[in-house]
Structure 1
Amino acid sequence: MTDTAPVGTAGGEETASRGGRPRDPALDESIIEATRRRLVLDGYSAMSLGEIASDAGVSRPTIYRRWANKLDLTIDALDWGFRRQQASYPTAPLATMPPRAALTEAVRRVDPCYFNPDAMVLMGNFMGETLRTPELLAHVKSHAVEPRVRLVENTLAELQDRGAVRADVDRHTVATLCFGAYYAAFLRDEHDRGRLAEDVVATLWPALAV
């Protein structure tokens, strides 16, 4: 059997199994977590549904009753992480923070490792799939990268409206620089990114502030 099967429901929807029993959310989460571990250890192309099933303590048919193929399972596993990251954000809205603190928090949320410390490894794996599985990287871009970068852009726009940031600031470029700072820190072995958001904003703020 290959890692693609014509049975099951893609996307992990809440449905009954073929035997009519309701889906077990705890079992679903065990499979999702096993998938995320295998993505880190093996990468998308090398990981197999058989290994995921073994790690999760289930059979491969159990996975196929829930997801049609490896890509659908992987996308659900990624979306699970995206939701967990968003839920971990501080509840205070950025609009209520002082200008520099608001931008700092927005830049902090750009960090790919904000929720998942293995995110840099995952991103490297996904970029390596550009030719083999372009829809996987496209999903990461649309669900993980762009929302974070747009948050910085939108925060800068709001700060411009508040009169705290210069009107001529190139928000797109600033947001891209902030996002790239985390990759540069990783590649330069500066793995303690606890103060990176503060340091980036401290460097940029004199050129941004009115």
Structure 2
Amino acid sequence: MTEKAVRTDPHKDSEADTGTRGGRPRDPSLDDAIIQATRRRLVVDGYSKMTLGDIAADAGVTRPTLYRRWPGKFELVVDALDFGFRAQRATYPDLELAKLRPFEAFAEAIRRVDPCYFNPDAMILMGNFMGETFRTPELLEIVREHAVEPRVNLVEGVLKDLQSRGEVRQDIDTHTVATLCFGSYYAAFLRGDSDREDLAEKVAATLWPGLAVERT
């Protein structure tokens, strides 16, 4: 079935388009159901194998409902990813890292770099996205821009703040340290370390002696 045929399918659900043609407002619950179904399909099938038909069936909507919201699979997946990024940020404790004691600020920044902080399936998702490097490189670029760099930059920002406060050595390569912190979660996952509750503290305690300014 072509996209044109899908858009003109006579068997539409009861929700009408909004805009110049009028009709009832979009139902937010349908949007949520579609987003959640998309996120689940990304985990189970991966981007290349997932289909809009499967997503529609999982969400309990018709394909025309999807096409009234998103022009294609890529745009739908981008919105599903953005939903996850926003939800993860919303779950962070309301803390001012600059007001924490140096080690606590560093450990909290590492905790927030955890890809699974909000979504326990995040590691599988990231593996699927990395598998799309050759087929859909723009998808991995979106993940890098919206999910990876903000987290790694948070660790770098905390380290630079601690440098300005005289708590962390000035010769530290903050970029590399932040990358190590981010990578620790992937290494723990691949090694089968299921308990990551205290991983942030362990990583912080291991790195801190080499980062902190020695007090006389």
TM-score, length-normalised on structure 1?
Answer: 0.93
Q: CA deviation at 1:20?
A: 2.4
The one of 197, 200, 203 equivalent to 1:200 is 203
The one of 130, 150, 160 equivalent to 1:127 is 130
Give the match for residue 64 of structure 1: 67
Q: CA deviation at 1:16?
A: 2.2
Counterpart residue identity of residue 35, structure 1: T
The one of 35, 52, 55 equivalent to 1:52 is 55
Give the match for residue 103 of structure 1: 106
2-structure distance, mates of 1:182, 1:139 = 20
Distance 1:61 1:156, change over 3 A: same
Distance 1:106 1:83, change over 3 A: same
| Equivalent runs, 1:86-165 vs 2, <5 Å | 86-165=89-168
1:80 is paired with a residue whose SS is helix
Q: Kindly indicate whether the alpha-carbon contact (under 8 Å) linking 1:44 and 1:125 is maintained by their aligned counterparts in 2.
A: yes
Q: Kindly indicate whether the alpha-carbon contact (under 8 Å) linking 2:97 and 2:158 is maintained by their aligned counterparts in 1.
A: yes
Counterpart residue identity of residue 16, structure 1: T
Counterpart residue identity of residue 209, structure 1: A
Q: CA deviation at 1:96?
A: 1.0
Counterpart residue identity of residue 18, structure 2: A
Q: Kindly indicate whether the alpha-carbon contact (under 8 Å) linking 1:159 and 1:165 is maintained by their aligned counterparts in 2.
A: yes
1-structure distance, mates of 2:83, 2:167 = 36
Extract structure 1 runs of 4+ deviating beyond 2 A. 1-7, 15-20
Q: Kindly indicate whether the alpha-carbon contact (under 8 Å) linking 1:35 and 1:77 is maintained by their aligned counterparts in 2.
A: yes
1-structure distance, mates of 2:61, 2:47 = 20
Q: Kindly indicate whether the alpha-carbon contact (under 8 Å) linking 2:113 and 2:181 is maintained by their aligned counterparts in 1.
A: yes
Counterpart residue identity of residue 40, structure 2: R
2-structure distance, mates of 1:98, 1:3 = 57
Distance 1:37 1:19, change over 3 A: farther
Give unpaired runs (5+ residues) of structure 2: 8-16
Q: Kindly indicate whether the alpha-carbon contact (under 8 Å) linking 1:104 and 1:198 is maintained by their aligned counterparts in 2.
A: yes
2:168 is paired with a residue whose SS is coil
Distance 1:74 1:68, change over 3 A: same
TM-score, length-normalised on structure 2?
Answer: 0.90
| 1:13-38 alpha-carbon deviations (Å, 9 max, x no partner) | xx827662211111101100000000
The one of 5, 16, 19 equivalent to 2:18 is 16
2-structure distance, mates of 1:2, 1:78 = 26
Count matched residues.
203
Give the match for residue 191 of structure 1: 194
| 1:29-73 alpha-carbon deviations (Å, 9 max, x no partner) | 110000000000000000000010000000000000000000000
Q: Kindly indicate whether the alpha-carbon contact (under 8 Å) linking 2:106 and 2:204 is maintained by their aligned counterparts in 1.
A: yes
Q: Percent identity?
A: 68
